[in-house]
Structure 1
């Protein structure tokens, strides 16, 4: 397995902050529509471990278009959600209109003015890898009250079956060889997520890690699947014409099988306390 920290530095938090702020803008609406939500079993386990309630105060880091936010807002707790991308921010505003205890700020976690020891939990749903560990972990720890928790949620990339993957591989090799990467089965995805969680402990700012994961299976239409791919960073880096040609080739192969595609992914949580 490649060095995960080096990959994150090259592909995520190592990018210029202004570039990161607008990275998902071209796919913001698609992201909201087709990115999977977090399984209810994961949310329930997180709430059970952290004992979150209507009396809790949560800080959500990089809420995106508010994929996970409603799962915690329904508890009635006070939430401050910071999101640097302006398109995500506006979508999150729409999603959270019915949650009066949710406040949104259009800024990055790096720019956010620290409120020391104010929050019972700092939540990041598939977002913390976009923040430099030198900033993210110490700032999150400083924002937490005594007995608070860092909550990291993850949904790994959705994968077709290995049989379908092999059929699609020819298309990738023809049009975008750089995307014909090694297939990630559920064990590989779980191992990668475990590495992401362990980084919190290695930072020396957190301890007592609790974690869990489940494998999720979903069915997407071909249109939904191609829209989903457009929300993943490697596809966002492609030139528009190259992406269009690639997607046309993928569609042709997929439509030979069915009008839908079966996908799976690993969803996980990591919870830790500040030192």
Structure 2
């Protein structure tokens, strides 16, 4: 995933924090376990989760036994994450942008993680700063997910009707996760701070009610930035398509990819 040039929108998720918390899926525990195994992370080791949201990656990392510093700049998102992890002494929630983060000494983390957030960081800062926070042999692990409606007729109807004015929501039958992963791998390698990155892919079946599917859409930046009227129009358009197809549940394939790079020794 290339760096996002619209970084002024990086706090927009705070306006839809409830929707974000309700509908965004956790990163699959099996993928997290595979990454922990590949990177040889041991229980209790310190890791950083950048742009933690309401814990979609933070919680699986904590369940894996890691000591997680969860960095989340959005106040409402952070409050929800703090409530979820209040009784978990393995998770430490803090605020602020990664560009300004100074809560750790250089080389203090065994791994730096980020799920669906690293592209919001200034690329002039992102890879270098992450490398500086890693101990020798530490890993940068970047993850993204792409949810796609499984039913072909329903997906086409949503694309052509509900998303006609919202092309960022349009999904093909086979999302471009391999292409996106390759682009992310190339970008990480081009920074010169990491050894040849490894890519991991997985898919996760999800089932949403119509209400929860609409909530999922509203949790994304391209919906959160809309005016209230435009957002209602999007919601209404989606609901009309679902009603026309007599949909009671929506099966979604959540394609997840991870780009994993070991800090290169300079």
What TM-score, normalized by structure 2, do the two folds share?
0.91
Give how far 1:187 is off. Answer: 4.9
Describe the SS at the equivalent of 2:100.
coil
**1:140-186 deviation per Cα after TM superposition (whole angstroms, max 9, x unaligned):** 0000001111111221244353321221234336xx52437653333
Asked if structure 2 preserves the Cα contact closer than 8 Å seen for 1:212 and 1:269, the reply is yes
Give matches, 1:93-132, under 5 Å: 93-113=82-102, 115-132=105-122
- The equivalent of 1:167 in structure 2 is 157
Give matches, 1:1-275, under 5 Å: 5=2, 8-11=3-6, 15-16=7-8, 19-20=9-10, 22-113=11-102, 115-172=105-162, 177-179=165-167, 183-257=171-245, 258-275=247-264
Unaligned runs of 5+ in 1: none
Q: 1:74 to 1:41 in 2, by over 3 A?
A: closer
Unaligned runs of 5+ in 2: none
- Provide the rounded CA distance (Å) in 2 between the counterparts of 1:148 and 1:180: 34
- Provide the rounded CA distance (Å) in 2 between the counterparts of 1:229 and 1:182: 11
Give how far 1:202 is off. Answer: 1.4
Asked if structure 2 preserves the Cα contact closer than 8 Å seen for 1:235 and 1:243, the reply is yes
- Provide the rounded CA distance (Å) in 2 between the counterparts of 1:62 and 1:44: 20
- Provide the rounded CA distance (Å) in 2 between the counterparts of 1:236 and 1:51: 38
Give how far 1:69 is off. Answer: 0.9
Tell me the C-alpha RMSD between the 2 structures.
2.0
Asked if structure 2 preserves the Cα contact closer than 8 Å seen for 1:152 and 1:269, the reply is yes
- Provide the rounded CA distance (Å) in 2 between the counterparts of 1:82 and 1:181: 27
Q: 1:170 to 1:210 in 2, by over 3 A?
A: closer
